[in-house]
Structure 1
Amino acid sequence: MLPDGVRPTVVVGHARFTGPMAKALADQSYPQATRLHFVHMHPDRIEWGKGDREDAARTAEQHTIQERELCETATRTIAVGPLLHEYALSKLTYGPRVADAVQVVPGFDAMPPVRRQRLGRALIMVLGRVHNENKGLALAAKAVGYAVNQLGHSEEDLELYLRGVRPGRGADVRRALLEWSGLPGLTTTIRNYTENPAAVLADLATISLVLMPSFEEDFGLVGWEALCAGVPVLISARSGLGTLIRASGLPDDLVARVVLDVRKDGAVDVPLWASHISRVLHNREAAFRTVEQVLAFMADRYTWAAAVEVVEDAVRGRQSPALPGNGG
């Protein structure tokens, strides 16, 4: 509870993690406060990729019901990115009593600069909760192996850097990576998952290329972090971030260098991703120039000031203007 005399005007809940607590706090102690509910995941998209789920269908339904109840009772629902906005409009915020969800996009204009790794061995990074099959770790490793075995690169000239392993699972993940890549001598660095942004920025300062080959990705903060830090990145089109970039108005030639299709067919996906990995390895300077162009374009259209305005409008009950290229 807050000190006596402190009466918040806004209570914020984050998905099913803090959403129930925010609702209870608003209902029981601050009934006059505006309650905002943020949607940041789509259970039917992500639960099937979690290998430790015995009944993904049941879990996804339970989480969807919980999200819908939180949206129905909130003052306003705010969804992160275009895919979650569509999900909230179609699955969570319908009926005469519920206000349509609004979309917020993280700004591309406020990431601290990082030192950029352009020389020496190329470090190729996969970042995130890699135990989730949806993250496409096998595709990343196979594409790196293809780039070496089929496209003429030397495994001595690159390293696969993995951040996002559960404690105690590093050895198993490393064995799987080497098997998938077909490169038993590939240099690999394994790091546990972290929520420390300073550790992620320190990683990005050493990286030549970040891969986000997700089969399903509600937004894609990994790709967003890499892009905002000015690091070359390949982003799955099956992500909210990829969808946003493709619809942003960015010139097609730049889109094609950062957003790649994922068909869930290794015979198609592996050569495609390997060819783009090869392109970056052949000319890292050009890859860094590309990401600078992409970042400049996105930072001009999606700012933190605009994101704050969306939240402020939700608090005040106003309708925010449509975001560029996605219909609102």
Structure 2
Amino acid sequence: MSEPAVVQQEVAAHLFVPLDSSLTDQGLRSFAGIWNRFRQRQGADEPVTAWIPTRIPDHLPDAPLHGSVPVAAVQADKRLDQAIVRRDHEILGLSLLLGAAPGRTWPDLRRRLDELVGPLGPAHLGGVTLLLGKKPDATAGKLELSELGTRDERESMRNLSLLGTVPEDSLLGAWAWSNGDATEMPVFVRYLMHMTSVRHQLAGHSRLADGGSRAFLRPPYGGGGTDRELTGPAEQLRATRHSVERAWDNACRALRVCDPAGDTLVATEVLDDDRNFVGWFTEVLDDELAQVELVRDKEAPDVPERAEQPEEASRAEPSRSAEAPSRTETMPAVRGTSSERPVRVLVVADEWFSKAGGLSTFNRHLCIALVAAGADLCVLVEKLSDQERAHAAQHGVRLHNAARPGHIGAETLMRRPDLPGGFEPELVIGHGRVTGPAARQQSEDHFRGSKRLHFLHVEPDQGEWYKLPGEVDVGAHTAARTKREFDLCRGALRTVPVGARLENALLRERHARRHEALGPPLRIYPGFDTGTPVTGPPPPEAVPQILLMGRLDVAGGKGLDIACRALGKAVPERSHPGRWELVARGVPEGESHAFRTMAEKWIDNPAVHVIPRPYSSDPQEVIDDVARASLVLMPSRAESFGLVGLEAITAGVPVLVSSRSGLGMLLTETLPPDQVERMVMDVGATAREVKNDVTRWARAISNMMWSVSGAFQQAAEVRKTMADRVTWHAAATKLLDCARESAPPTD
């Protein structure tokens, strides 16, 4: 049985030229030539609207933040043939339509189109030809999209057909030409534009592989494009991969806007093939980059091995009880020189192992680093186990049990301790409101010759709003908490804010007259030179896990609602139930069922399975959670620093970090812009901004999960950069130098 005839046959062509290339002028001249030929041969002299010029102006209009702007438009008599030029950010699109009329068929129209366009030169990104038509038996409200001929991504022109049903002009026009009388670029054409950019990257990559020296960098919207020399193979590959990743992200966004329900096309083979092509291309780029770096490492001259090798040490270490921190906490073995006198330091802590949270982990790393940097250190803790004492002793740290009969909790830390060997500290360290009051009493009442450093870990005016129930007067509570935090800074030699965000808060507070006497800030960062990196991404056959960690008793502060809603939108369309797993570590005891119900409601997609897990004081459980993850999320609305993100980075696991965190600020200061753009995400932090937050995070999650192996390769680069530039040894040395400078000269 023969196929039903396709009637009302038309041909549309969409051509694209980059406006940020060294060949832009050549591309504009090409467009002008095509435009003039179209007007002459098709008799297209009539304006489409009164406000769009019929010639391409010398100065193009500015691109809008969203969508496109028409530049020029003409049409033939009775609107049979049309041409329109549109600007979409840094891409100029020229669209030609040869309309349906008696005696016009696809072969004739294609020949005429070829005469009008001619061959595309190197100044073009490429283009797409669309054969449009109507089938009498087509399904109402549906379109049939198919690839014509043999698919070859290296060709500059792509050939597709798009068919609808006879009575429906509006649907076919909205996808292929214009939505009613609108002059903006159709969203599906924008999808094709971004896919053309990806194909252009493949062509450029092929030229580089053949010995070329230029790569065209197509940045995301809002960035300044560039056509520049990329000197080394690794830089070329990274630039190409970033361009492909951003173009694909923009293409997916356009497709979601074009067809939000995903049910307009009868079949999706063309779109599926596009997805497979992008996946294949990024895998090729990742493999080639790995080979380049392997060769570079082998050819690198021998250099002295760094003193610290915590990863290797951990592999050789015998297994320990799960309660003890991993051997990977070993700090760089860089001791103070003989000319540096050891500083006697008393650190006041509530615990050694991390049963109560991240502050204990921070303190443990810091103490180990202080000893490695030359301190004579003793740590005062509320209570002490033999296992904790043994662990600390391995790193040269002495723990002193403050527990006494009749005294409980923090009260034990207030009393004068009977320190071993008559130890008299010259520096006392306390952490926030947890051990800051006890440290102040130890320094001012018991060891009056000592100086005190007070660590600032939180900013109550930000975080407390997301932690307290609605019936509490949060304003009054945060005011009291803020006053208490900053009052503890009084009398300290220096206040030590952890990160730039807290330093900024302290500097602002010191402008108030009553707080002028606050100790000046001495900002430090936790080090990134600990932890054992994972060997690579989880096996591809395993269900990917996305990890969210922290005390998840309240959704607001940690951005749980943002994470869940974003995951529901980011998971690939047509996914089977349980395609991804969200592991939430930190759910309060007894609330797992309610938590899962709430999370599933936000996700609203059976493709994401929710796994609630309680908060754990076992460091190894956290290490294992991170090692199993394909991606770690930290979408916090308020986060003074963000030790969860630090855990992921030191393990070499991909992570998305809130820009509102101290960690996000540090990464922005330290990493190259392209790495920051991939992993530091804005969070609006208000109810009004939730929709934008979700869209932004969904796009970032989709980018990371599209090529997990590539994301892990980028995470390894971030880990190396941060471990080289931000170390625990640097933090410890900064503290000890401060103590030495403030001490009176010795004979």
Q: Return the alpha-carbon distance in structure 2 between the equivalents of residues 64 and 251 of structure 1.
A: 35
Compute the RMSD of aligned alpha carbons. 1.9
Indicate whether 1:113 and 2:526 are aligned: no
Q: Deviations over 1:112-133 (max 9, x none)?
A: 2335443221100110011232
The separation in 2 between residues aligned to 1:257 and 1:184, in whole angstroms, is: 27
Q: Classify the secondary structure of the residue corresponding to 1:104.
A: coil
In the alignment, structure 1 residue 13 sits paired with structure 2 residue 13: no
Show the counterpart of 1:322: none
Residue in structure 2 matching 1:256, options 673, 677, 687: 677
Match of 2:662 in 1: 240
Shift of 1:148: 2.8
Residue 166 (structure 1) aligned to one of 585, 588, 596: 588
Q: Does 1:64 align with 2:482?
A: yes
Distance 2:567 2:664 in 1: 21
Contact 2:576 2:607 in 1 (8 A): no
Instruction: Render the CA deviation track for 1:256-312: whole Å, top value 9, x for unaligned.
Output: 111011124122111221112112222100000111111222222111111111211
2:609 is aligned, of 177, 187, 191, to: 187
Counterpart residue type for residue 138 of structure 1: D
Q: Against the structure 1 CA distance between its residues 117 and 293, is the aligned structure 2 distance closer, same or farther, given a 3 Å change threshold?
A: closer
Partner of 2:558: 135
Task: Give 1:38's aligned amino acid.
Answer: F
The yes-or-no answer on 1:2 pairing with 2:418 is: yes
* Structure 1 match to 2:716: 292
Q: Write out the 4+ residue segments of structure 1 that deviate beyond 4 Å after TM superposition.
A: 92-96, 151-155
Q: Distance between the aligned counterparts of 1:2 and 1:93, measured in 2?
A: 40
Deviation at 1:157, TM superposition (A): 2.3
Q: Residue 307 of structure 1 aligns to which amino acid in structure 2?
A: A
- Which residue matches 2:730? 306
Alignment partner, residue 446 of structure 2: 29
Q: CA separation in 2, counterparts of 1:80 and 1:153?
A: 42
Once the 2 structures are TM-superposed, how far is the Cα of residue 35 of structure 1 from its aligned partner?
A: 1.1
Which structure 1 segments of 5+ residues have no match?
Answer: 319-328
Q: Distance in 1 between matches of 2:486 and 2:511?
A: 7
Which residue, out of 455, 458, 461, partners 1:38? 455
Cα distance in structure 2, aligned partners of 1:28 and 1:247: 41
C-alpha deviation, 1:184, in angstroms:
4.6
203-212 or 277-286, larger mean C-alpha shift: 277-286
Identify the range of structure 1 (184-193 vs 262-271) with the bigger mean alpha-carbon deviation.
Answer: 184-193
Equivalence for 1:49: 466
Separation (CA, whole Å) in 2 of partners of 1:257 and 1:63:
35
> Secondary structure of the residue that 1:73 maps to in structure 2?
coil
State the one-letter code of the partner of 1:206.
R
For 1:46-73, what per-residue CA distance to the aligned partner results, in whole angstroms no more than 9, with x for missing partners?
0100143612111211111112211112
Quote the sequence identity (%): 38
Return the alpha-carbon distance in structure 1 between the equivalents of residues 518 and 548 of structure 2.
39
Asked if 1:218 is matched to 2:636, the reply is: no
1:99 deviates by 3.4
2:521 is equivalent to residue 89 of structure 1? no
C-alpha distance in structure 2 between counterparts of 1:155 and 1:273, whole Å = 21
Bigger relative contact order, structure 1 or 2 (CA pairs below 8 A, ≥6 apart): 1
Structure 1, 271-280 or 286-295: larger mean CA deviation: 271-280
Note the residue ranges of structure 2 that are not aligned, 5 or more in a row: 1-416, 743-747
Q: What whole-Å deviation, never above 9, does each CA across 1:16-37 have from its counterpart, x for those lacking one?
A: 1110111112222111112110
CA 1:140–1:14 in structure 2 vs 1: closer, same or farther (change >3 Å)?
A: same
2:537–2:712 Cα contact (<8 Å) kept: no
Which has the higher Rg, Structure 1 or Structure 2?
2
Distance (whole Å) between structure 2 residues aligned to residue 92 and residue 240 of structure 1 = 20
Change (3 A) 1:18 1:241: same
**Residue number in structure 2 paired with 1:73:** 491
Mapped contact 2:585–2:612 kept (Cα < 8 A): yes
Query: Higher helix fraction: Structure 1 or Structure 2?
Result: 1
Moved more, 91-100 or 162-171: 91-100
Contact kept, 8 Å, 1:164 with 1:192, in 2: the verdict is: yes
Deviations, residues 57-99 of structure 1 (Å, cap 9, x unaligned): 1121111111221111212110101101111222158755443
| Aligned mates of 2:696, 2:612 — CA distance in 1 | 25
Q: Secondary structure at the match of 2:452?
A: strand
Q: Secondary structure at the match of 1:263?
A: coil
The aligned amino acid for 2:563 is A
224-233 or 6-15, larger mean C-alpha shift: 6-15
Deviates more, 1:77-86 or 1:182-191: 182-191
Residues paired across the two proteins, number: 316
> Could you tell me whether the CA contact under 8 Å between 1:71 and 1:93 is conserved in 2?
no
